[in-house]
Amino acid sequence: MPRGRFITIEGGEGAGKSTNADFVLQLIKDRGLDGVATREPGGTPLAEEVRSMLLAERDETVDPLTETLLIFAARAQHLAKVIEPNLQAGRWVVCERFTDSTFAYQAGGRGVERRVIERLAELVHRHCWPDLTLYLDVPVEVALPRLAGRGLDRFEREHKAFFERVRAVYVERADAVDRIVSIDASRELDTVKRDIGAALSRFIETG
């Protein structure tokens, strides 16, 4: 049984990750391939509990290293229980967010040293990096209004400069890392989906 492929969808809040995750999974199934969709932080009951801890508003400020370690703890569980078993069973895994988010939010946003994240990634998933990452790029001033009218979590309450730093790291990684395909997600949803479909087809046919 050939190993499945690991596809991640990345981007800031309101970029359209959830909106496009099912679409990506459907494209994969349309090719006759088996696949599952999941997300981070979360994806297992325990990792979803960690997610709730991370997103909750609280009086106590959360130390950036604590936040980073919690994210990697959830990731280790998610890898062990969902990502690896499905890849080994030949299924394609479509995951909203993974370690590129940690570089963007914890290094870019919070100021955690990148080498800390590199070392944790080495420890937790040295042999399991995404095969393809679809990075949905949206300027902060376009993305934030998309969230209007819904309750905001601890991250979404951050100031604009935080989200600008997050985006800068994403853009830098999209330039530097071959597996990351940047898609302008500020356009109409149909146009974004067309580009996602094209990137996925290229990957399936050549990758």
Range 177-181, long-range pairs (CB < 8 A, 24+ positions):
177/133, 179/129, 179/130, 179/131, 179/132, 179/133, 180/10, 180/100, 180/133, 180/135, 181/132, 181/133, 181/134, 181/135
* Minimum distance, C-beta of residue 169 to ligand Z5A, in the bound complex (Å): 11
Q: Which residue has the tokens 């944790």?
A: 120
Q: Which is closer to ligand Z5A, CB of 89 or CB of 189?
A: 189
Q: Which residue has the tokens 């979590």?
A: 153
Tell me the CA distances in angstroms from 204 to 33, 200, 207, one per residue in order.
10, 6, 6
Q: Which is closer to ligand Z5A, CB of 89 or CB of 152?
A: 152
Contact 4, 84 (CB under 8 A): no
* Minimum distance, C-beta of residue 22 to ligand Z5A, in the bound complex (Å): 10
Contact 63, 112 (CB under 8 A): no
Q: Which is closer to ligand Z5A, CB of 33 or CB of 53?
A: 53
Cα 181 → chain centroid? 13
* Minimum distance, C-beta of residue 18 to ligand Z5A, in the bound complex (Å): 3
* Minimum distance, C-beta of residue 94 to ligand Z5A, in the bound complex (Å): 13
Q: Using omega within 30 degrees of 0 as the cis cutoff, is the peptide bond preceding 139 cis? A: no
Q: Which is closer to ligand Z5A, CB of 95 or CB of 132?
A: 95
* Minimum distance, C-beta of residue 205 to ligand Z5A, in the bound complex (Å): 25
Q: Which residues bind ligand Z5A (CB under 6 A)?
A: 11, 13-19, 40-41, 71, 96-97, 101-102, 105-106, 146-147, 155-156, 185, 189, 192
Q: Which is closer to ligand Z5A, CB of 36 or CB of 74?
A: 74
